[in-house]
Structure 1
Amino acid sequence: MPEPAPPPPQSSLPEAAAHLGTHVLASAAARACDVGIAAGGSPCSPSLPAPPAISAPAPPPVGTPAGAVSAPGSGLERVLRGPSGLGTAGLRLILRGNPSASSDPAGGSVDGTPVPGLYHHPVPEPDPARVEEVSRRIKSWALDEVSLYPEDWEEEFDGFSVGRYMVGCHPDAPTVDHLMLATRLMVAENAVDDCYCEDHGGSPVGLGERLLLAHTALDPLHTTREYQAQWEKSLHADAPRRAYRSAMEYFVRAASPSQADRLRHDMARLHMGYLAEAAWAQLDRVPEVWEYLAMRQFNNFRPCPTITDTVGGYELPADLHAQAAMQKVIALAGNATTIVNDLYSYTKELDSPGRHLNLPVVIAEREGLSDRDAYLKAVEVHNDLMHDFETAASALAAACPAPAVHRFLRGVAAWVDGNHYWHRTNTYRYSLPDFW
């Protein structure tokens, strides 16, 4: 289904900015049409159905959450509300509405306490019917299709609550099938992290080899006939590779070629970040704070928000996705959400064997602060990243008023908010330090 026509540009925007998105979008569409004609079809159309119109009214502007600093500017609020006018209902998401009656004062469910002072936005509770169905399907996939884990890992798998996680992060997914695209990839990525890097047999020794071979499940090996069969057999050698292979097969069937290649690129970034952290572990070195943040720009959640359009059943054209301004928005979203993980998993990692690097630990070591002061400074770093993310998203929305851009930005913002919601409410995995 083609995107609805964009609303008239706001009169306050400069004329050049108002035409930027239309020009780039038209160029990308023309190239896609040429490719489709040459191939005898339209290869960039996702195979899953386009999303139905969302008839719910747009939510009110974003409020300032408890413990937060100033709210974002009106430009981002306009993007999050979505365009108005005939035919634009399907471009609106319910991202940051009023919390339900059962919510705590900070917004969200009564389970879990937000990190005091952390800048975040409340989100509506994820649809329980979707959560239940996604949870059922992902467990069936993990057990029956890829043999992901032994019986004694079942409680930990259930405690991860991946169904609630993905439903909360992708409120515009038109069907459960679309949600499953993200859910399989999330579970597969965590299997690689746990089994190759972390506490389920992981080690920094030999990590590069394991990651490279696993990456061929995402980015297929093209070799001679003699060795092709051996490579194909290797994709079933362990749980992480089985999970990567299966999750990517589902994703490729639903995504356009550019969307699939975009994911491969971001997964390579992720693996490079794993290797940097492994190198520090082998050297027993605590990096400088800026070095740690550089690593976290690669070893982070970036592959998740970058597929928000595939999960939403549409495509942000490759030229628009590749714009430097869009890449900055996605990078900042990944950076902020990953520091959320550092903060909520802090006590969990302290209780684990060995030394786990996270932002509070690195700040304490490198800047000579107490554990408490380092943690509170890490909260400030997160808040700065969040404000930078929202400022960059607002500027891009104003400069490029194409509907696909606005919808993608709302999808990324939804992922940021849903990620915090999951960390805050997952009391099975996380608890806060006693610093307040």
Structure 2
Amino acid sequence: MPDPEFFPPQSSLPGAAAHFGAYVLADAVATLPVDAPTSVDALPLADVPADEARTPAAALERILRGPSGLGTASLRLARREEPPTLPAPEPELEPESAPADGNPVPGLYHHPVPEPDPARVEEVSHRIKAWALGEVDLYPDDWEDQFDGFSVGRYMVACHPDAPTVDHLMLATRLMVAENAVDDCYCEDHGGSPIGLGERLLLAHTALDPLHTTKEYQPRWEESLRSDAPRRAYRSAMEYFVQKASSSQADRLRHDMARLHLGYLAEAAWAQQDQVPEVWEYLAMRQFNNFRPCPTITDTVGGYELPADLHAQPAMQRVIALAGNATTIVNDLYSYTKELASPGRHLNLPVVLAERENLSDREAYLKAVEVHNDLMRDFEAEAAALVAACPVPAVQRFVRGVAAWVDGNHYWHQTNTYRYSLPDFW
């Protein structure tokens, strides 16, 4: 598929970068290796011709390949602490020529990714199952096949190629499994219901954002955190996360988890009212009920920190939001047949488009592909404008990490043939 044509969007970042001034550059220099030069000229993009630096497509290409020039080698991908070598079967094909499992949605704009490191996948898969079974008692025995079929180790290794150690990967993996348990047990397939969902989500959220109450009532709250599997998983995953995250990174995650829970509540309200929202309303809900908490922690998983002021910039927030929105529509498309086969009516973008725009199932699905592609191209254009306007190493690395998460998320959906299959629309 040819490269998309990028149209430079309006950005507030040039002014923002000037506002930060010496603070931003000092922080950028602090992220360089100890033997790197510390002049402004050593920062990424400094060795790029001016006409190329002004081109969003060229800027995005540099994000994905990493910074270049003296002293920037360590910024491309973090040096990794490799897990123990595990025996692997002989592949039938050379790794570079072996096709990925499953078929991508025809016409879907995406970037293929290399097969994730099998040793890391095996180690993360082993550790997450031990955590789910032994530490938090997350699921009964008859859910084991579904847990294995989720392939969360493969998912997280594909999404976080710059994680320096398996311990860093486990931060994201525990949170992903805990979030999935909350969705299943509170909202979806395994006993979930829209009735009373607000109370359940509020109490679960206190496992992430602790309750500060009187000594008389503190023990009752602490006891409640052990009362069901989702709360146990949330609490344990967050305890591990805060051991490696800064205070601002932890608070950022709590904020994005609150966004996620708000989206759950909107969808639950439509279910209780048996209402199909307008397409724009559905997309608004999906900006909250989406994958955003996952890419927003890419710096913690990568072993560094994007400063809070830079993370909060409107242009950065737009990049993160577009990434979350695009990846969530990927989920709508790949889970379409799975949801149609489930009891009740599941809202997803093709279903809403068919109902609200009077389209056939096929027409609605193909239009949802177009919506996804528009979101992806907006994400890439905004990401390119952002790094061109604010050439700070932490910004470049964070945006590159978000882009890697977007690509890894598609890879997992495409290759998880245990969970997903495509409709027969082509």
So what's the TM-score if we normalise by structure 1? 0.83
Separation of aligned partners in 2, 1:435 and 1:79: 35
Give the deviation of 1:21 after TM superposition. 3.9
Residue 333 of structure 1 aligns to which amino acid in structure 2?
A
2:59 paired residue among 71, 75, 85: 75
Q: Secondary structure at the match of 1:396?
A: helix
Q: Deviations over 1:203-239 (max 9, x none)?
A: 0000000000000000000000000010011000000
The answer to whether the 8 A contact 2:320-2:402 is kept is: yes
The answer to whether the 8 A contact 1:126-1:167 is kept is: yes
Q: Secondary structure at the match of 2:288?
A: coil
Q: Does 1:278 pair with 2:268?
A: yes
Give the deviation of 1:17 after TM superposition. 7.0
Q: Secondary structure at the match of 1:423?
A: helix
Separation of aligned partners in 2, 1:340 and 1:369: 20
Q: 1:212 to 1:30 in 2, by over 3 A?
A: farther
Separation of aligned partners in 2, 1:399 and 1:28: 13
Written as runs of structure 1 = structure 2, the 5 A alignment for 1:165-184 is 165-184=155-174
When the two chains are superposed, the root-mean-square deviation of aligned CA atoms in Å is: 2.3
Q: Which runs of 5+ in 2 are unaligned?
A: 1-11, 37-55, 79-93
Residue 394 of structure 2 aligns to which amino acid in structure 1?
A
Written as runs of structure 1 = structure 2, the 5 A alignment for 1:91-102 is 91-93=75-77, 100-102=95-97
1:135 paired residue among 125, 150, 156: 125
Q: Does 1:194 pair with 2:184?
A: yes
Partner of 2:49: none
Q: Secondary structure at the match of 1:226?
A: coil
Aligned residues: 377
The answer to whether the 8 A contact 1:333-1:386 is kept is: yes
Q: Which runs of 5+ in 1 are unaligned?
A: 1-15, 32-44, 54-71
The answer to whether the 8 A contact 2:24-2:392 is kept is: no
Q: Does 1:85 pair with 2:101?
A: no
Written as runs of structure 1 = structure 2, the 5 A alignment for 1:96-245 is 100-104=95-99, 109=100, 111-245=101-235
Residue 78 of structure 1 aligns to which amino acid in structure 2?
R
Q: Aligned residues: percent identity? A: 83
Residue 167 of structure 1 aligns to which amino acid in structure 2?
V
Give the deviation of 1:103 after TM superposition. 3.6
Q: 1:258 to 1:414 in 2, by over 3 A?
A: same
Q: Secondary structure at the match of 2:163?
A: coil
The answer to whether the 8 A contact 1:25-1:319 is kept is: no
2:20 paired residue among 18, 24, 35: 24
Partner of 1:65: none
Partner of 1:330: 320
Separation of aligned partners in 1, 2:408 and 2:110: 10
Q: 1:407 to 1:30 in 2, by over 3 A?
A: closer
Q: 1:386 to 1:25 in 2, by over 3 A?
A: farther
Q: 1:194 to 1:17 in 2, by over 3 A?
A: closer
Separation of aligned partners in 2, 1:262 and 1:28: 20
Q: Secondary structure at the match of 1:297?
A: helix
Partner of 1:401: 391
Separation of aligned partners in 1, 2:247 and 2:191: 34
Q: 1:26 to 1:247 in 2, by over 3 A?
A: farther
Separation of aligned partners in 1, 2:347 and 2:58: 37
Q: 1:25 to 1:164 in 2, by over 3 A?
A: farther
Q: Deviations over 1:168-202 (max 9, x none)?
A: 00000000000000000000000000000001000
The answer to whether the 8 A contact 2:242-2:250 is kept is: yes
Separation of aligned partners in 1, 2:98 and 2:404: 18
The answer to whether the 8 A contact 1:21-1:402 is kept is: no
Q: Secondary structure at the match of 1:368?
A: coil
The answer to whether the 8 A contact 1:81-1:93 is kept is: no
Separation of aligned partners in 2, 1:175 and 1:343: 32
The answer to whether the 8 A contact 2:25-2:392 is kept is: no
